[in-house]
Structure 1
Amino acid sequence: MTAVYDGHCHVASSRFIPRAFVEDVASNVLCRLGSMGAAPKPGRIADGLAAQHEDHLADGLVAEMDAAGVERAVLLVPDFGLRMAGTAEPAEAARLHHEIRQRHPGRFWVYIGVDPRRGPEGVRDFEQMVDAYGLDGVKLYPPCGYSPSDPGLYPYYEICAARALPVFVHTGPTARSLDYGPAHPMRIDRVARDFPAVPFVLGHGGLTHVEVSAYLAAYRTNVYVDTGGFASAPSLSSWPEHLNQLFRMGINHKIIFGTDWPLGRLNGGLKGLVAEVVEGPTVFAGVSRKDRELLLRENLLRVLAPGSRPPG
């Protein structure tokens, strides 16, 4: 079996995920359950989700990775600080993730969150974090209120270009209190042209705005698509069929497999999800072995090691 790398995970910890974000997610779940006439008390869902965000050292995640056969994963660290209070500031988050990597050597890459509104000090802090902890990339969360093509991000992109760091950009819907407009994938088009040496990964691009994301990946040599959240989207009646259709669009050299763990905890855990992807009858039906290797491992490695990226 092809070794599996997960390109989209988070440490399920209240140190990095704000309570307000958890409550927004709970409200979405409540709305869906209410439409089926089975909604529990609102606080019960939020408390249940919050209780799942106490894996501060990623021990639970590593245990699930081991059970699922996932060798390594990317830890994404959004910077919510200017929009939602209560989580570690970027420098502290980077330090804590460094400790997690020391605790679990060889298991994680880390993309740290940045926000253009933090100004020149934020840029200096970012460069210091990269030097101190050997960070592997940048995580952007535009729903917090900025465009990924904001000129304030260009100093970060210059550092990424100089150090061969990828940029992971959330696209599509998210918590209901955040801004959806800046999260449209076309917002990346300008900066992808301005920084052709920087790989940009469209988070959830294989899930929402799929046609636009696939179009960008097909025609922008440095744009990739991520599958994160595929098993948790309320709009998908059957995610195996959805992934199979995605993998038949002719851009398998540009798609990175990701789960968006810990969302998978709500759908049977990482082991069940990965087993359905790798061993199930649907996801890879008609997909070549070579493409499977690209999707489950090689594309992520190419993003992380730009010298090995093919053109196109």
Structure 2
Amino acid sequence: MTAASAAGGPRHLFLDAQVQLGSELAIPRAFIEYQADNAHHRMAAHGHAVRRDRVRERVFALYQDDDADRLVAEMDEAGIALAFMVAPDFSHVADCALSPPELAQLHHRVSRRHPGRFRVFWGVDPRAGQDGLDLFERCVTEYGFAGLKLYPLCGYSPSDRRLYPYFEICARYRLPVISHTGPGWGPLDFTFGRPLLIDEAARDFPSVDFVLGHGGVTHVDEASYLCAHRPNVHMDISQFHSVLSADGWQRHLNRLFRQGLEHKILFGTCWPSYRMSDSLGGLVKEFAEGTAVFDGVRRTSRELITSGNGLRLLAKASGDGPGDGHGR
């Protein structure tokens, strides 16, 4: 069943620039526990008498989708035809259920189970040494992974020189890089979430496209500044419905979409992190023509944001043969 048929007929389909595999095999247990405790704290502050253990049970239930069947069903209902599935490397900061090679195999199996629905962005950490570099190249050449994922809050700058060999591979195969910006998992170091930290790498590797994950949500002025002045820097809007804005996330995005950067912005959700608070289809409906999000935004701009910009990044990697390998 296609996304269009599941949604009730042909319509414009979306590309989600950031989803994750909702599985305890892919996300560290400590990460999920922190998310559950944060949810409990929010509920308690609003006067909801819910036991912490019950909240944890509900949150952990969201992470049993080991084969992404539930995720694909949600994408079908929402009209999302394709998604970038990111696989962050937490192996240096948390106990993980799988080793990095095992995790790569899992994501490869998921992408084969759902052909045409996911492009995997493999997570790396500069402390992994040659083993990490070899695994990334294997993920690209054997598994067909579509890009690189960085989670700098684990303790490194996205312009760390130890990452440059990874960027060389990205330059060779024309692969984009998604780097987390803003806050994230609480125990980690948020100082590495500033968008400007990517500037040195973007300058040294002008042929590599860098996407500021959540750049349209936190540190927005800084992310917009980079996107306006670096041709190879882009941003996504994943986690948009958690934006801190006095007049709501819809108006926040509307302002962002009307400031002349529509060719640099990618739609994204960070699903399934917010399954407890909304549905994927409900979020996507907010991006229909005539909604507050797209008030005054031209159709061509809407199509760039919801799918065109992401497809353009993927198209570079599907060109005839690898690049020349010269990152700088």
TM-score range with shorter-chain normalisation? over 0.9
C-alpha separation between the residues in 1 aligned to 2:94 and 2:195? 23
* Equivalent residue, structure 1, for 2:77: 67
Q: Is the 8 A contact 1:90 1:113 kept in 2?
A: no
- Does residue 145 (structure 1) correspond to residue 123 (structure 2)? The answer is no
Is structure 2 residue 226 aligned with structure 1 residue 198? no
Aligned residue type for 1:124:
D
**Corresponding residue of 1:287:** 297
Query: 1: CA distance between counterparts of 2:251 and 2:183?
Result: 21
Quote the sequence identity (%). Answer: 49
Counterpart Cα distance in 1 of 2:205 and 2:93:
27
Q: CA deviation at 1:122?
A: 1.1
> Normalized against structure 2, the TM-score is what?
0.90
Match of 1:224, SS state, is strand
1:27-176 → structure 2 map (5 Å cutoff): 27-38=37-48, 40-176=50-186
For 1:18 and 1:46, the matched residues in 2 are separated by: 14
- Residue of structure 1 in register with 2:193 after alignment: 183
Which 10-residue stretch deviates more, 101-110 or 272-281?
A: 272-281
Q: 1:237 to 1:178 in 2, by over 3 A?
A: farther
* Residue 234 to residue 19, structure 1, CA distance change in 2 (3 Å): farther
SS at match of 1:267: coil
Residues 150-205 of structure 1 show CA distances to partners (whole Å, capped at 9, x for unaligned) of 11100000000011110000000112111101111111011100001110000000
Please tell me the residue identity of whatever aligns with 1:243.
Answer: L
In structure 1, distance between residues paired with 2:40 and 2:247: 18
More moved, 123-132 vs 172-181: 123-132
- Note if contact 2:245-2:252 (Cα within 8 Å) is conserved in structure 1: no
CA distance in 1: counterparts of 2:157 and 2:167, whole angstroms: 14
Q: How many residues align?
A: 309
Deviates more, 1:134-143 or 1:259-268: 259-268
Post-superposition Cα deviations, 1:185-237, rounded to whole Å, max 9, x if no partner, equal 11101110000111000000000000000110010110001100112346676
Find the residue that maps to 2:241 and give its secondary structure: coil
Q: Among residues 273, 277, 285, which one is paired with 1:263 in the alignment?
A: 273
Per-residue CA distance 1:51-109 (angstroms, 9 max, x = gap): 10000000001101111111111100001111011232222222111111111111111
- Equivalent residue for 1:225, pick from 232, 235, 252: 235
Q: CA deviation at 1:116?
A: 0.3
Instruction: Give the whole-Å Cα distance in 2 for the aligned partners of 1:128 and 1:174.
Output: 28
State whether residues 175 and 317 of structure 2, in contact with CA within 8 Å, keep that contact through their aligned partners in structure 1. no
Q: Answer whether contact 1:203 1:228 (CA < 8 A) is retained.
A: yes
Superposition RMSD on alpha carbons, in Å? 1.8
**Would you identify which runs of 4 or more consecutive aligned residues in structure 1 move more than 3 Å?**
232-237
Q: Find out whether 1:15 has 2:25 as its counterpart.
A: yes
Change (3 A) 1:89 1:282: same
Task: Give the match's secondary structure for 2:75.
Answer: helix
In structure 2, relative to structure 1, the CA distance for the partners of 1:142 and 1:220 (3 Å cut) is same
In the alignment, is the contact (CA less than 8 A) between 1:11 and 1:55 conserved in 2? yes
* SS of corresponding position for 2:185: coil
Give the alignment's TM-score, normalised by structure 1.
0.94
